[in-house]
Amino acid sequence: MNLIKKRLKLLIVGAKFGETYLNAFLFPNPEIELVGLFSKGSQRSQQLAHSFGITLYTNIDQIPKDIDIACVVVRSTVVGGDGTALVKELLERGIHVVQEHPVHPDDVIRLQKIATNNKCLYWINSCYIHTLAGQCWIENAQRIRKLLDGKSPHFANFTTSRQLLYSSLDLLLQACGENDATIGISDNEEEPFSLLYLDFSNFSAVLRLQKYMNPKEDDFHNLVMHKLTLGWPSGYLSLEATYGPVLWTSSLHDKNNNQNKDSLYLRCNKKGNEFLSTPITTTLHSTSSTWSEAFEINNPLGVTRVLNLLISHLNGNDVPAAFNSHYQLSLTKLWQKILRHVGSATEYELPEPQVIHPEDLINK
């Protein structure tokens, strides 16, 4: 691809979660110019367009021909939205597209072909792997595997909801260098989760997937958004929640335990007893302090990272592993395979959860 010699013009499509993408431009990007928002014209979209000083388009025929990149943050066909149809039209215009997840495998195949035919990029963004916490988790998992001569985890556990299964799988696969698994489901399911076993080529994982959802508020009522743990004899790496913390917990093992006759107190002051001075748990990345910080800072930083990777590729660098077309298709196929195993979610309206304030827990 040719090196970029100008700032590329970018359009955000969608004004709900699309606000996260807009927030990526609270600070100017030297290589990308935010020029417009495409939406249905709600009060929210009008306010956002006004706040960012950009044009609001409400008809796709209004979109200028000189748009270079579009971020489509509208639900795809598989989750009942128009996002996939919008992506198709934008790709046919030769516009590079970043589409928010999830996307059905058949649509991925079709859209990748359209992108290739029109000499443009089509990337699916699962959002959470590009946040600071997500990147810390992935990079440290890869670092641990390298330190252990490439050994895969001895165990893996992850818990999530249906809404966030796609991104949870992306976190796991990127961390472990895998892209497919055979699936088994437990007959003795634990409420309120389905219990699944994923056998990858070099390790196995246990998945606890929330069974139910509220169709009227399907972005909420997640018992757990993202919680992942990878373990080796040396210790275990955990992403405790979507925005952190990321923790490394070392294993309990004293190589001198059976040979040493000294008390622990005396051994602490002698050389060769590094085990006793090893931290039990190390925080590799701390969590966001508030939900506001997560939505207004951490998610937008993830968007900025994705856009910078796209620009880097347009400037001649390799496609990042997360956006390799074969990997992206494998990811969505595994996502679909798991959902087929568990069947449809139980749907019912749920009451608002009771809020527990931190001050009710601390120093009581």
Does an H or E element contain 36, and which?
Answer: strand 32-38
Task: Dump pLDDT digits (tens) for 346-363.
Answer: 888 899 999 998 888 887
For residues 226 and 160, is the Cβ–Cβ distance under 8 A?
Answer: yes
Does 217 reside within a domain?
Answer: yes
| 141 occurs within a structural domain | yes
Last residue of a domain, one of 293, 311, 329: 293
Is residue 36 within 8 Å of residue 55, measured between CB atoms? Answer: yes
Cα distance between residue 216 and residue 10, in whole Å? 32
Q: Is residue 94 part of a domain?
A: yes
Q: Is residue 107 domain-shared with residue 173, that is, in the same domain?
A: no
The verdict on 66 and 193 lying in the same domain is no
Longest dimension (CA), the chain: 82
Is 349 within the bounds of a domain?
A: no
Is residue 284 located within the same domain as residue 144?
yes
Is 271 among the domain residues? yes
- Residues ≥6 apart with Cβ < 8 Å to 76: 83, 84, 87, 99, 100, 101, 102, 103, 104, 107
CA distances from 97 to 123, 157, 300, 362 (A): 6, 33, 17, 46
Token pair 């040493």 in the structure block, residue: 260
Listed as ranges, residues in the chain with pLDDT below 50 are: 1
CA separation for the pair 98, 107 (Å, rounded)? 14
Whether 118 maps to a domain, the answer reads yes
Both tokens of 95, joined, read 């516009």
**Residues 113 and 242 occupy one common structural domain:** no
272 and 168, same domain (yes or no): yes
The pLDDT assigned to 218 comes to 85
The domain in which residue 42 lies consists of 8-127+296-338
Residue 199: strand pairing partners: 182, 204
Candidates 287, 205, 177; CA nearest to 242 is 287
Cα separations (Å) of 184 from 137, 155, 181, 340, 341? Answer: 26, 16, 10, 11, 8
How far apart are the C-alpha atoms of 55 and 8, rounded to whole Å? Answer: 16
Q: What is the pLDDT of residue 87?
A: 98
Q: Does residue 213 sit in the same domain as residue 259?
A: yes
Q: Is 189 helix (H, G, I), strand (E, B) or coil?
A: coil
Please give the structure tokens belonging to residue 139. 């990079």
The domain tally of the chain equals 2
13, 103: one domain: yes
Q: Do residue 69 and residue 53 come from a single domain?
A: yes
Distance CA 351, CA 222 (A): 13
DSSP 29: B
**256 and 135 both lie in a single domain:** yes
Q: CATH no. for residue 245?
A: 3.30.360.10
CA 33 to chain centre: 25
Q: Sign of the CA dihedral 71, 76, 80, 81? A: positive
∠ at Cα 163 (304, 97), nearest 5°?
Answer: 35
Same domain, 158 and 287: yes
The pTM of the full predicted model, rounded to 2 decimals, is 0.94
pLDDT score for 5: 67
Which CATH number covers residue 62? 3.40.50.720
Looking at residue 300, its pLDDT comes to 96
Residue 353 domain flag: no
Q: Give a yes or no: residue 355 inside a domain.
A: no
Asked if residue 193 and residue 306 are part of one domain, the reply reads no
**Given phi > 0 = left and psi -120 to 50 = alpha, else beta, which region is 177?**
left
pLDDT of residue 359: 85
**Calpha distance 14→267 (Å, rounded):** 62
Q: Do 167 and 216 belong to one domain?
A: yes
- Residue 253: its pLDDT value, please? 80
- Strands 204-210 and 155-160, by their bridges, are parallel
97-145 per-position pLDDT tens digit: 999 999 999 999 999 999 999 999 999 999 999 999 999 999 999 999 9
